[in-house]
Chain A
C-alpha cells in the first residue's frame, strides 16, 4: 500500500482508553458466560434457556441477535452503494415481522408444538427421515451462510482502530475474536447468550442512536440528502429506478427473504420464539420486534450513507475519495466494507468510540454464539441423535454440541480467509440462506396449515428448495449460468433473486404435487 492509503486509513480517534473499555466490557461478558454455566444442565436449558424468557427480555435478545456486527457491516455496505433506495429492505423486514406478530404465522404453532428446533417439528408432523434430511440441509445452508461473519466482523475492528493497512491485523483479530466467542458459547449456551444480549441491547441501541445524532450534526441533515441526490440521482432513493442495483425482482425477493422468512422461518429468530414462556409472549415479542427488524437494517444503512456523504462531500473525508472511488486505471478501490468503520473511527470521539466498539464486538459475539448454538444443536438433535439406535444422553448431547461448535469455528476462520466473493455480503447471505429456507417455507406452511401435506411432499419440497444454490456466483459459473465477455467480466443469465424466487415456487409446487400424488396412508390403512 502506498503512503497516501496508509495515512488515510490510519486516522482514527481510537486510543488506549478505548482499548481498555473494550477489554473491560468483553471480560464482563465472558464472566457472565462462565457464571451461568451451572444452569445449563440439560438441552432445554442449554439451547432453549429453559423456555423461561419474558416478553421484554425476548425483545432485547431478538434485536441482540439479529443486529449483529455482520448485519451492521453488510447493511452499511448496502447503504454506501445503494443510498436511501436500500431503505426498502428495512421497510419490508418491518412489515413482514408485523404480519407474523398479528397472525402468529408459523412461529406460534411451532411454539405450541414445544419443539427445540424446526427439524424436530418435521419429525412430529412427518417422519424421522424428513427431520434428518431437513437437519442436514439446514446445517449446510446455515454454516455456509455464516462463513463470512468472522472476516467481515473483524474488518470492522481493523477499520475502526486504524489497522486496515496492516496485513497481519485481519487474521490476528479473527483468531482473537473466534477464541473469545468459542469460550463464551461453549460454557453457558442460550442462557448466557440471552443475558449478554440484554446488556448489548441497551448499549448498542442508545449508542447507535447517539452516533446517528453525531453523524447528522456533523454532516447536516439536508446535506446528506442533497449529496445523495446530486451524486446518485433518483436511483439513490427509488429502488425501482433503472441502475439502482435493485429492481422489481430484487424487491419481490426481499419480500420473501427479508420479510416473512427473516422473522418466521430463519432458525436463529425462531429459536428466540421457541424460548419464550408462552405463545402470547411470542406474539408480543414479534410485535415489538417489527421495529427491531426495521431498525437493524435502517440504522446501519444510514451510517453507510453517512460514510458515503463524508467521503464525497466533506473536506475531512476528501482524502478517502481517491481510495474508495479511484479514477479509472489508477488503482484498485479499497474494499467498501471498510468505509463505515473508517468513517466512525474519525467521527466518534474517544471513550464513546471505545463503548461503541465494545458494543459492536458484543454484537459480533451475540450473533456468532446464537448461530454456533443453532447449527450445532441442529446437527446434534436432528441428525446425529435420530440416527443413533442406542440414543444419546443429555450430557452426551451437550458435549457433542460443544465439539461441533468448535469445528464450525475452525471452518469460519478458514472460509473467511480463503473465500473471494465479489457480491455484496447481504446478497451472498440471502442466497446461501435460501438453500435452507426455500424448502423449509414449503414444508412448514404445508405441515402446519394443510392436512393433506405428505411425507413425500415434504422431502420433495426440501430437494426443490436446495436449487437456490444455483443463485451463488461460483456455482453459476460452474454450471454455465454465468458467461464471460471478451474482457473477462462475468455476466449472469439469471440473477440470484430470480433463481431464489423460482426456487421458492418450485418448493411450494413440489409440496403440493407430491402430496396429492402420494398422500400419506391413514392409520387404519397402514394397519390393514
Chain B
C-alpha cells in the first residue's frame, strides 16, 4: 500500500467535498437561521400571554 499516494487522494477528495458542503451550508443555513428566528419570535409572542411558563414549578 502506497500510504503517501493514499493520503494525497484522501486529502484532495475531502477538501473538494468540504468546499461543496461549505457552499451549500452557507446558502441553506442562512434560510434556516431566518426560519429559526421567526419561530422563536412567534413562540416568544405567544408565551408572553402565558404567565405560568417562565417560573412554573418543574417536575424534579
Contacts and interface: CB of A to CB of B under 8 A. Distances in A.
Interface of A: 36, 38-39, 41-43, 45, 49-50, 52-60, 84-85, 87, 90-91, 94, 191, 194-195, 198, 201-202, 205-206, 209, 212, 225, 229, 234, 237-238, 288, 291-292, 294-295, 298-299, 302, 385-386, 388-395, 397
Given A202-B26, A205-B18, A237-B4, A55 B54 contact: no
Contacts of A294: 14, 18
Given A52-B39, A54-B36, A225-B8, A59 B55 contact: no
15 contacts: A38-B44, A41-B54, A43-B58, A52-B40, A53-B36, A58-B32, A59-B25, A60-B25, A87-B10, A198-B30, A201-B25, A209-B22, A237-B4, A295-B15, A394-B53
B26 A393 contact: no
A54 B18 contact: no
Contacts of A292: 18, 21
Nearest to A83: B7
A225 B10 CA distance: 14
Contacts of A195: 33, 36
Interface in B27-52: 28-33, 35-36, 39-41, 43-44, 47
B58 A291 contact: no
Given A38-B44, A84-B3, A57 B36 contact: yes
Interface residues of B, number: 39
Interface of B: 3-4, 6-8, 10-11, 14-15, 17-19, 21-22, 24-26, 28-33, 35-36, 39-41, 43-44, 47, 53-60
Interface on chain B toward A: helix, strand, loop, or mixed SS? helix
B9 to A, nearest CB: 11
Q: Which 8 A-B pairs have the closest CB atoms?
A: A54-B32, A57-B32, A237-B3, A56-B28, A205-B22, A391-B60, A56-B29, A84-B7
A56 B18 contact: no
B24 to A, nearest CB: 7
A198 B21 CA distance: 13
B29 A87 contact: no
A392 B58 contact: yes
Contact of B7 (A54, A206, A237): A237
B5 to A, nearest CB: 9
B11 A394 contact: no
B15 to A, nearest CB: 7
B4 A395 contact: no
Contacts of A392: 58, 60
B22 A394 contact: no
Contacts of A91: 10
A57 B32 CA distance: 6
A41 B47 contact: yes
A461 to B, nearest CB: 25
